[in-house]
Chain A
Amino acid sequence: GNSVTQMEGPVTLSEEAFLTINCTYTATGYPSLFWYVQYPGEGLQLLLKATKADDKGSNKGFEATYRKETTSFHLEKGSVQVSDSAVYFCALSDNAGNNRKLIWGLGTSLAVNP
């Protein structure tokens, strides 16, 4: 079945460091891919998405490219800030029939120190 694998956290970085959070997936068909962010004490927010191969999603300085050949959707940011401290979730859509279910990774906690 479909699945998402994220790198385990926690990830701890200093401000202005480069961030990569790895995400790989297993899926049949042509899923859409998502990154969600959950700030402390809040619900999840859609950070970015890509709906087909080679698409690049970007938002708030974060980027991820849908790579079908490596089945990956790694999240990157060139210079992190303390305010980026959150839990990041990779997810893919299961577009089979009416089963409108997102398949979620386990989440990666990021802590950015000043």
Chain B
Amino acid sequence: EDQVTQSPEALRLQEGESSSLNCSYTVSGLRGLFWYRQDPGKGPEFLFTLYSAGEEKEKERLKATLTKKESFLHITAPKPEDSATYLCAVQASLGAQKLVFGQGTRLTINP
């Protein structure tokens, strides 16, 4: 069964304090790994897709990396507006269109 585990569940940082969020996965052939951001009361917002080990993607203060077993979302010099829940999801390669999501990391950036 495809599984995604995110850690930590919650993370509080000071503005400017860099850190990383972890996403560990087991999947029957990885078609893609996805990161989303979710603000309270809203649907998830797509951030990145990673397809193969060694791949990296960047957007503003966020950088996502991928290995064969896990992905990291690095946040550099975060600002209060980066506070949100970050969700990781995988799509298996065996014909499935659905995404399997982790439970998310709730990130709070204090000014």
Whether A and B are associated in the same complex: the answer reads no
Residues of chain A having any CB pair with chain B under 8 Å: none
Residues of B within 8 A of A (CB): none
